[in-house]
Amino acid sequence: MTIKKLSEELGVSPQAIYQRLKKSKVDVRKLTDAETRELSADGEYTIRKLFSHDGSEEKQTKQSIIEEYVKQVEALNLELASVKEQLKAEQEKSSKLQVDKDNLTKALLQAQELHQKALERMLPAAGETVKRDRLTWKERFTGKIRQQ
């Protein structure tokens, strides 16, 4: 069988066969009989193999790439959902902490106010003298007690 007849059978041009052989780095002389210039059985098989994988292999490759991308997108969507859940949990935690902070601030202000009122009760008003129950260091050391 010649390359021309095989090209007609495969539905491609002889030039396409030569280009495919060149692209695959296959020497045409090794596929043909030198005397009759017809394809050997191995040559015909090699060319049929090159063209039989043409469409189906390319489609399989594209399909596998698409499937891989779909898997990656699904994995990323799952990861995104997980991150969104974590973000929501952190926002709720932050909200609770803010409420706790506000409550503690309010309690602190109330405690400071109570402390201030207690100090005001304990300290004498302006102009009043304070009766001391304790001796000063000098009074203890010298033994002299001041008269009030």
Which amino acid belongs to residue 75? A
How far apart, in Å, are the Cα atoms of 79 and each of 34, 55, 75?
63, 36, 6
Most confident of 21-30, 44-53, 62-71, 77-86: 77-86
β-sheet bridge partners, residue 130:
none
pLDDT for 81-107, tens place per residue? 999 999 999 999 999 999 999 999 999
The residues, any chain, with a CB within 8 Å of residue 13's CB and separated by 6 or more, are 7
Structure tokens at 118: 């207690």
Confidence check: pLDDT of 136 > 80: no
**Percentage above 90 pLDDT, the chain:** 32
Three-class SS state of 87: helix
Q: What is the pLDDT of residue 110?
A: 96
- pTM across the whole model: 0.38
What lies within 8 Å, CB to CB, of 46 at 6+ separation is: 26, 31
pLDDT band for position 146 (cuts 50, 70, 90)? low
Q: What is the pLDDT of residues 62-75, one digit of tens each?
A: 788 889 999 999 99
